[in-house]
Amino acid sequence: MTFMSAAALAATATPVHAAVANSSSEAAGVRCSSSWKNAGAFPGRWSTVKNPDCSVIGYNGFKVGYQWAVDRGTSICVKVKGFDAQHKAKWYDAGCGKKGSVRVPWGNVAGIKEMKVKGAAVFKWR
């Protein structure tokens, strides 16, 4: 399996045609730092945050995890990017609060992690 650059993954999400035999993150092609990314949310509108340093090459049945925690401000509402069975990007509602985590379907797709957030806060995510 060939790994694409983060810039190439940022441009599009692509179905992956090579199946991966086991369910470890390394085997799935998850290339992410475990460090948190800082971001901000604005009240009254959805903002998108992307992690171009986190490329994911999944396989059928693969799920991706997201975590977030508010450092300053109010709670935020979060939607996270995953993919449906037809390899189309889908925004999954992850709820509202000062912190949280969720795992969503990713499947047989290459792409980068993204979240949509709304609220008045500075937060970190991974």
Domain assignment present for residue 93? The answer is yes
Q: For position 97, which CATH number holds?
A: 2.60.120
3-state SS class at 108: coil
Which residue do the tokens 């990314």 mark?
A: 37
Domain assignment present for residue 55? The answer is yes
pLDDT digits (tens, 9 = 90+) for 44-70: 999 999 988 888 999 999 999 999 999
Identify the weakest region by mean pLDDT among 8-22, 32-46, 74-88, 104-118.
8-22
Our count of domains for the chain comes to 1
- Cα dihedral sign, 26-65-114-51: negative
Element (H, E) at 8: helix 6-11
Ordered DSSP codes for 9-69: HHH--EE--S--SS--HHHHT-B--SSPEEEEE-TTS-EEEEEEEEEEE--TT-EEEEEEE
Domain assignment present for residue 69? The answer is yes
pTM: 0.76
Domain assignment present for residue 1? The answer is no
Domain range for 115 is 6-125
